[in-house]
Amino acid sequence: MKAVILTGFMGAGKTTVGKRLGEEWKLPVIDTDDYIEKKMGKKISEIFEEDGEDTFRQYERELLPTLPIENVVITTGGGIVIQEENRKWMNENGFVVYLHCDLDQIISRIEGDSSRPLMKNNKEQIEQILTTRLPFYKDCNVTIDTTNKSIAQIIDEINLEVKKSIGGDNK
């Protein structure tokens, strides 16, 4: 099965949903943030603080083409879609699922989370970031709205879409 790649804004549920999909489909899950943290031996917040956001974006860009493209679930950092070459790689090599979520719910889920440098911005700034990114997120195979939905519901919807698009029993 083609790699299933989850994108979406911070707090949309990518990591939780990705882990559950991996369990259900018995596939490995690669999380780009985790991968970068392990490789660099630093937390994302430290990379932003010490090396700057551009360096973090470079790590994301360099990482993607090294990832497997079959039989894997890839969960991505919320800003992976900013760079055109990342969108191109994801769309060429995977089945890209954008997990959408309303801003208010995003904020209530991750407000004050110090591990996410961009959450230091105020609500208007966060909204601006989301608005700017929306067209990039929409550059995907399928959009799933996660607002007010349980993880089980989200998983069901993804399963349906993946079956429709990739065919068969996800294999």
- Give least dist CB 60 to ligand S3P, A: 7
User: The tokens of 48 are what?
Assistant: 């932003």
105 near ligand S3P, judged by CB under 6 A: no
Among residues 13, 18, 78, 94, the one that binds ligand S3P under rule CB under 6 A: 78
- Give least dist CB 162 to ligand S3P, A: 21
44 near ligand S3P, judged by CB under 6 A: yes
Strand partners, 29: 73
Closest CA to 154 of 15, 35, 32, 27: 15
User: The tokens of 29 are what?
Assistant: 């899950």
E strand or H helix that includes residue 105: helix 103-110
Residue 71 gets the label, from left (phi > 0), alpha (psi -120 to 50) or beta, of left
C-beta closer to ligand S3P: residue 77 or 170: 77
Window of 75-83, 86-94, 97-105, 155-163 that interacts with ligand S3P by CB under 6 A: 75-83
Among residues 116, 139, 157, 159, the one that binds ligand S3P under rule CB under 6 A: 116
DSSP 8-state secondary structure symbol assigned to residue 2? B
Binding site residues, ligand S3P, CB under 6 A:
10, 14-15, 33, 44, 77-79, 116-118
